[in-house]
Structure 1
Amino acid sequence: MTGTKAPGNGAGLLAGKVALLMGAGRGIGASAARLFAREGAAVVLAARTESELADVVGEIRDGGGTADYVLADLTDGGSIQAAVENVIRLHARLDVALNNGGISIPHTPMVNATEQKFDLVTSVNYRGLFLSMTAEIRAIRATAGSGAIVNVSSVGSLRGAPGLGPYAATKRAVNSLTETAAVEYGPEGIRVNAIAPGTTMTGVIRQWADDEPAAVERLNTLTPLRRAAEPDEIAEAAAWLLSDRASFVTGVCLPVDGGLRA
C-alpha cells in the first residue's frame, strides 16, 4: 500500500469525495480511477495485482490527483472488508464506490460449462460483489452518512446470452442486488445503481477480437453506433451516477451499449 495526500477541494463532478474502486487495476476500473481523480475525488484502488495498481496510482499522482491502493481478493470476504477498512483509515470516510471487479469464463453452451468454472464466476461476480457492496454500505453509513454505489453489470444480463449462461446469470444477480439495495438504503440517502456495458475494448475483448474477429465484428454490426466502446466511455456513465448530479437516480441498471438493446 502507498502513502496518501488529503482529498482535494477543486472543481469537478466528484470534487471532495472519497471513492473506492474495486477491480481498478486495468480496463474499466483503471479508466474510472483516472477519471474520478480528474473530477476531484480522492481515489482508492483495489484489486489483486499490486503492480497494476501501483502503475495506475502513479499515473494519477503524476497528473496531480490523489490516489492510493489496497490489495483485495473478491473471493475472500476478509480481504474485501480489510480493503474497505483501509479506505476509512486513509481518509476517515467513504462517499462513493464502484464495484467493477469480476471475471469471465470461456464462451460455451451451458451443457459444456464445468462446475468448477460455474463456481468460480459465481464466487467472484456474485458473492464478491455482494460482500463488497454490503461492506461499502456499512462504511458509508458509519462515516459519510450518505453516498452512492455503482455496480458493473453487463448488457448480457438483460436478455438471453447464448454461450455466456453462467456469466450472464451472475450479472443478472448483480441487477437484483442493486435494486434491492436501492430500496433498502434509499431512505438513508444511499443511492445504488448499476451500469450494463455493451462491447467494450478491455484487454479481454481485445484478446477475443484477436482470437475470433468475426464474433466482435458481429456485435459491432448489431450495435447501432457500429462500434465498441472504449473503457473511458463506460467510466463516464459511472462517474455521473456517483455524482450529485444524479441525486434522484437510484435502483437503475443503465445500459451503456451504443444502442445494442434498443
Structure 2
Amino acid sequence: MNDFNGKVAFITGGSKGIGAATARRFAKFGARIAIVDVDQEAGSAVAKEIVGNGGEAYFFKADVSNETELKAAVDGCVERFGRLDFAFNNAGWEGAMGALHLTETQDVDKLFSINIRGVYLGMKFQVEQMLKQGGGVIVNNSSIAGLKGLPGSSIYVASKHAVIGLTKSAALDYATSKIRVNAVCPGVVDTEMVRRAAHNDPATLEAFAQMNPIKRMGTPDEIATVVTWLCSDEASFITGATIEADGGIMAG
C-alpha cells in the first residue's frame, strides 16, 4: 500500500465503525485523511487520534444529504490537502425497518436522503475533482442487502441496491477517465449500527453472528482492508465490481 504516500482519502461516516477503521488504515499507509460526519465530537476524536499517531487528518462536519454541506467538505478537503485521490462513501442509516406497509414515509425519505442521495452527491463532487486532477478511486459502501432481499428491510434493501446501480453505471461513465468506482458489500459486521438494530440484546447479536457461515460477525477492520485494497494499485483492473465481505452469506 506504499502508493498511498502523499495521497488524500475522503471518508464519509468516518467518525466510527467501518468509516473510522478505514480512516485509520489509510493513515497507516501514508494517506492524508478527510473525515466527514455529522458527529463532530466523534469525528474530531478520530482525526486527533490519527494526528497523534503521526498522520495527517482533518474533520469536516457535513450531512451527506445536504448538497451545500457536502460540497463544502469536498472543497475544504482540496483546499487543505491540495487534491482528492480516494473516496469512501460510507455514511448510511438503517432506519425504516419493518414490514413495508408499516414504515413511516418520513423515515423512508430520511433513509433515501442519506443512503442514496448522500452517495450520489458524494460521487458528484468527488468525480468533479478527480476529473480535474486526472483520476482517482471511489468505493461505495453497499451491503449484502444490495445483493439480495431481506425480510423486514425492504426500504433499506432498496437503498443498498440503488448504491450498486450508481456504482456500476458510474464505473462505465468514467472508465476512460482513470476513475475507478467499486462497491463493498459487507455482511453482518460488529458496528454500532448493527448493535442498534439488535437493541444490544446478546441473544439477537449471537443470532446475527450465526447468519454468517463463518459463525461470527465481521470486524470494521476487515472491511477497511477491502476498501483500501480496492483503492490501491493492486486493484488497478477492477472497476464496476461489487466485492462481498460477508463471511460467506452470499455463497449459500
Q: Identity across aligned pairs (percent)?
A: 38
The gaps in structure 1 that reach 5 residues or longer are 1-10
Displacement of 1:106? 5.1
Superposition map of 1:118-137 within 5 A: 118-137=108-127
Q: Which residue of 1 aligns with 2:79?
A: 89
Q: Which moved more, 1:106-115 or 1:232-241?
A: 106-115
Q: Distance in 2 between matches of 1:241 and 1:201?
A: 21
Displacement of 1:51? 0.9
Q: Which residue of 2 aligns with 1:177?
A: 166
Displacement of 1:210? 4.7
Q: Which residue of 2 aligns with 1:254?
A: 243
Q: Distance in 2 between matches of 1:13 and 1:215?
A: 41
RMSD of Structure 2 on Structure 1 (CA) = 1.4
Displacement of 1:211? 4.0
Q: Does 1:109 align with 2:131?
A: no
Q: Distance in 1 between matches of 2:200 and 2:126?
A: 37
Pick aligned residue for 1:59 from 20, 25, 49: 49
Q: What TM-score results when the alignment is normalised by the length of structure 2?
A: 0.95
Superposition map of 1:82-231 within 5 A: 82-105=72-95, 107-143=97-133, 145-231=134-220
Q: Which residue of 2 aligns with 1:3?
A: none
Superposition map of 1:19-98 within 5 A: 19-98=9-88
Deviation above 3 Å: which 4+ runs of structure 1? 207-216
Decide whether the 8 Å contact of 2:96 with 2:104 is kept in 1.
Answer: no
Q: Distance in 1 between matches of 2:30 and 2:212?
A: 33
The gaps in structure 2 that reach 5 residues or longer are none
Q: How many residues align?
A: 251
Q: Which moved more, 1:170-179 or 1:66-75?
A: 66-75
Displacement of 1:136? 0.2
Distance 1:211 1:92, change over 3 A: closer
CA-to-aligned-CA distance 1:119-149 (integer Å, 9 cap, x gap): 1100110011101111100011112x11100
